[in-house]
Amino acid sequence: MTTLIRGELIKATTTRTIFAYGAMAVALAVGQVLLLILPAWDAPMSLAHKTQSIAGLPLMVLLLGIVGAAGEYRHRTAAPATLVAGRDGGSLLLARASAYAAAAVAVAALATTVTLAVGLPLLAARRGPEVGAGDVALVAGGTLVAAALMGALGVALGALVRNQVVAVTGTLVAIFIVLPPLRAINPTALDVTPFGAAQGVAGAGLETLSIGAAGVVLVGWTAAALIAAVLTERRRDVA
């Protein structure tokens, strides 16, 4: 299994895709920091809002996992990879999920480093409670955990849908069109979605769940998606 993971990790980290998503993650992270901190500069800022401004953006690594997994079917490399590995498709999928979880952590670590470098000096100058080292560690650690789980979840979704355009478009529609009205109607319902739970784990703060509870929800979604993807992969012809 270690060999499979190593091979999938090499594929995940030697394509232009990961560099593109890394650049977008950094740009969006900086944009989020500036958007949440600079407006109303003279007004006090709560600790929750300060930590939210430096929280991670798990959406980017979710899309990275989706594109990476679904791309195996688009480029017709899924079947050869399974044959070369000499293992069933389910085992290869788990190895791919592990590899993209690691790649997602690397992307999140880069974005988090830039976010903290830009955000912490600005937060120090804002009125309100000080963001302590423990707060920073909680946000940074939560962001990396959320990234790992969302990267693996993305692989599961990509394997289930198998079409990059459909999977990415469906994810974006769910996040930007379906979820906002859902949040207005019932914040609890949003918190228990994988997208809401990931934001909570990354430190964005939720209406009804603690970081720990959000972590349990996100692990549940990721595990369920991976089980479904593995079972589906073992039943079908990947060629």
DSSP states of 111-124: HHHHHHHHHHHHHH
Query: Phi and psi at residue 144, in whole multiples of 5°?
Result: -70, -40
As a whole number of angstroms, the distance between CA 64 and CA 25 comes to 10
How confident is the model over 47-71, as a mean pLDDT?
A: 88
Residue 188 pLDDT level (bands cut at 50, 70, 90): confident
Q: Is the pLDDT of residue 206 over 80?
A: no
Q: Is the pLDDT of residue 81 over 60?
A: no
Query: Phi and psi at residue 143, in whole multiples of 5°?
Result: -65, -40
User: What is the pLDDT, as a whole number, of residue 73?
Assistant: 73
As a whole number of angstroms, the distance between CA 27 and CA 144 comes to 17
User: What is the pLDDT, as a whole number, of residue 122?
Assistant: 93
User: What is the pLDDT, as a whole number, of residue 216?
Assistant: 95
User: What is the pLDDT, as a whole number, of residue 145?
Assistant: 95
For the chain, the domains span 2-235
* Cβ-count burial 223-237 (b if 16+ within 10 Å, e if not): eebbeebbebbeeee
DSSP, collapsed to helix, strand or coil, labels residue 88 as: coil
Tell me the C-alpha to C-alpha distance, in Å, between residue 170 and each of 31, 43, 72, 90, 226. Answer: 24, 38, 19, 24, 18
Name residues whose C-beta falls within 8 Å of residue 62's C-beta, 6 or more positions apart in sequence: 150, 151, 153, 154, 157, 171, 195, 198
DSSP letter, residue 234: H
